[in-house]
């Protein structure tokens, strides 16, 4: 008998096949190299299903006990990497059931799959695995926000240029920059918690597509597995990959924000800026130029975001034209999901490591402030004297123009020169050139004054439960 034919006969679906499989097709079809990651979830789902069949009279207590004991041994084999994979183990479900029958006998092992389909099984395994992975990612995301908040508290006095269009705009606090990204990450934390809720729904007990004929208690299985609810349409339950879509969408959104955060730090760490210096643990050197210290950790974070976007876009293209219900194309949702979770999880830990170990150069940040960044302060000064803002904006523009014409920074203009531009400038107009004052005036909620920044810190702490 040809090897391909033997393999087909030993598959869970192989009874009606009389011709062998192309050996390349066997390999092409095999998902065990990656879905073996779900071994514990597959075993937990199988035990819950067997218990439900026990309660439904399909299994006896003795049969269930043997199934449970057999799976305990199988789980330990996977854990210790002693599980011996056979040629016909095309996926984790097949491998576990085959091994169970070897341990407890085919007569009892063959009853395990009564009323169950791999269509529901893979969806259950993926959801169970993903739920726990997302909970861990939630912890890592909280860590990144906590480090941001901690540094914002500790380095509250540091001033730096704020940029628009990558040009110096207005002075801000370094803490305000930190919290701008921490706030963006906090929005992703909110979304992640919603994603976890939708992932945590059970498809188990829906069969191949039409449901279960043995009056199985789906609620009991869901409760045993820690699901918060059921998927109520069996056709939808086995075909649904929205939980994968949404995870990839969420992860792509988070990675986009991590990428922008990394880009800022790449700029701030270069010699032209010198605002921050990365720890050696998150930097590399040049093979040619010994003076180089490259922000490879940040560049990789920026690059990994493209990888994450690719996971999402690829799965959309795979699934967009599939007919109802299960199709083998859905197997292509597993590998990108696994790699996406690994990419996002690793990226969060690297980002937290970078931020917790980098050092700042407060003197360089302050030295980078330029008097021209205070131009708006002159307009605001006039507004407080009753001048319409548009007129004040025009007058402050003339201050900038005069400084440019004289070839001097704005803070080198004399009081007489300023009064010559507009008589409403009083002797106190010089205070407009104080960076600390300019920052502290932005004290409305969301601003960069100390009080506003402290308010943001408390809001983020509350969200984190700190």
- Is 459 part of a structural domain of the chain? yes
What are the distances in angstroms from CA 389 to CA 378, 380, 382, 442?
10, 7, 8, 17
State whether 126 and 231 are in the same domain: yes
Could you confirm whether 165 is annotated as catalytic? yes
Could you confirm whether 46 is annotated as catalytic? no
Backbone angles phi, psi at 249, to 5 degrees: -65, -45
8 Å CB contact between 199 and 247? yes
- Is 16 part of a structural domain of the chain? no
Backbone angles phi, psi at 229, to 5 degrees: -175, 180
Query: Residue 60: which CATH number?
Result: 1.10.275.10
- Is 17 part of a structural domain of the chain? no
- Is 360 part of a structural domain of the chain? yes
Q: How many Å apart are CA 464 and CA 143, to the nearest integer?
A: 9
Q: Count the domains in the chain.
A: 3
**pLDDT score of 4:** 47
**pLDDT score of 2:** 43
State whether 335 and 383 are in the same domain: no
Q: Is the pTM of this model over 0.85?
A: yes
State whether 279 and 392 are in the same domain: no
- Is 413 part of a structural domain of the chain? yes
8 Å CB contact between 51 and 224? yes
- Is 12 part of a structural domain of the chain? no
State whether 318 and 180 are in the same domain: yes
State whether 425 and 304 are in the same domain: no
Query: Residue 452: which CATH number?
Result: 1.10.40.30
State whether 267 and 204 are in the same domain: yes
**pLDDT score of 19:** 62
Among 367, 394, 424, give the residue marking a domain's end.
Answer: 367
- Helix spans in 320-359 (H): 334-357
State whether 130 and 99 are in the same domain: no
Among 334, 367, 400, give the residue marking a domain's end.
Answer: 367
**pLDDT score of 289:** 56
User: Which residue among 82, 165, 287, 423 is the active-site one?
Assistant: 165
User: Which residue among 117, 186, 286, 340 is the active-site one?
Assistant: 286
List the domain range (segments joined by +) for residue 326.
118-367
Among 367, 392, 425, give the residue marking a domain's end.
Answer: 367
Residues of the chain whose pLDDT is less than 50? 1-8, 13-14
State whether 73 and 143 are in the same domain: no
State whether 430 and 329 are in the same domain: no
State whether 210 and 340 are in the same domain: yes
- Is 23 part of a structural domain of the chain? no
**H-run or E-run covering 167:** strand 167-173
State whether 299 and 382 are in the same domain: no
Query: Residue 188: which CATH number?
Result: 1.20.200.10
State whether 354 and 427 are in the same domain: no
Total Cβ atoms within 10 A of residue 459: 15
- Is 163 part of a structural domain of the chain? yes
Q: How many Å apart are CA 179 and CA 173, to the nearest integer?
A: 10
**pLDDT score of 196:** 98
Query: Residue 411 contacts by C-beta under 8 Å, 6 or more apart in sequence?
Result: 371, 374, 433
């Amino acid at each position: 008998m040809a090897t391909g034919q033997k393999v087909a006969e030993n598959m869970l679906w192989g009874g009606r096949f009389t011709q062998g499989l192309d050996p390349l097709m066997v390999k092409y079809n095999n998902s065990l190299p990656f879905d073996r990651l779900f071994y514990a979830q597959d075993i937990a789902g199988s035990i819950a299903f067997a218990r439900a069949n026990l309660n439904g009279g399909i299994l006896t207590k003795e049969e269930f006990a043997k199934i449970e004991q057999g799976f305990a041994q199988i789980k330990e084999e996977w854990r210790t990497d002693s599980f011996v994979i056979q040629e016909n183990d095309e996926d984790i479900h097949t491998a576990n059931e085959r091994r169970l029958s070897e341990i407890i006998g085919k007569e009892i092992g063959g009853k395990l799959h009564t009323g169950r389909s791999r269509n529901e099984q893979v969806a259950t395994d993926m959801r169970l695995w993903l739920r726990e992975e997302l909970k861990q990612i939630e912890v890592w995301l909280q860590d990144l926000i906590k480090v941001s908040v901690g540094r914002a508290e500790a380095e509250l006095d540091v001033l730096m240029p704020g940029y628009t269009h990558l040009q110096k705009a207005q002075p801000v606090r370094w803490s305000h920059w930190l919290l701008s990204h921490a706030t963006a990450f906090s929005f992703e934390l909110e979304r992640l918690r919603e994603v976890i809720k939708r992932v945590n729904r059970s498809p188990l007990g829906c069969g191949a597509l039409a449901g279960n004929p043995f009056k199985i208690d789906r609620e009991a299985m869901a409760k045993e597995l820690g699901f918060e609810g059921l998927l109520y349409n069996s056709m939808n339950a086995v075909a649904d990959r929205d939980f994968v879509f949404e995870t990839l969408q969420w992860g792509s959104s988070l990675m986009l924000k991590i990428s922008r955060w990394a880009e800022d730090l790449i700029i701030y760490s270069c010699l032209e800026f010198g605002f921050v210096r990365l720890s050696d643990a998150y930097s590399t050197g040049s093979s040619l130029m010994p003076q180089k210290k490259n922000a490879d950790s940040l560049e990789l974070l920026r690059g990994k975001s493209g990888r994450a976007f690719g996971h999402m876009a690829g799965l959309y293209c795979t699934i967009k034209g599939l007919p109802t219900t299960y199709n083998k194309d859905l197997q292509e949702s597993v590998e990108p999901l696994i790699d996406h979770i690994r990419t996002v999880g690793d990226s969060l830990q690297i980002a937290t490591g970078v931020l917790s170990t980098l050092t700042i150069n407060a003197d360089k940040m302050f030295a980078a402030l330029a008097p021209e960044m205070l131009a708006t302060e002159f307009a605001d000064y006039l507004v407080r004297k009753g001048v319409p803002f548009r007129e004040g904006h025009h007058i402050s523009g003339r201050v900038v123009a005069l400084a440019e014409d004289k070839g001097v920074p704005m803070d080198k203009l004399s009081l007489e020169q300023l009064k010559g531009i507009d008589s409403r400038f009083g002797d106190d107009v010089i205070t407009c050139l104080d960076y600390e004052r300019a920052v502290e005036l932005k004290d409305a909620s969301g601003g960069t004054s100390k009080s506003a920044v402290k308010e943001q810190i408390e809001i983020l702490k509350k969200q984190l439960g700190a």
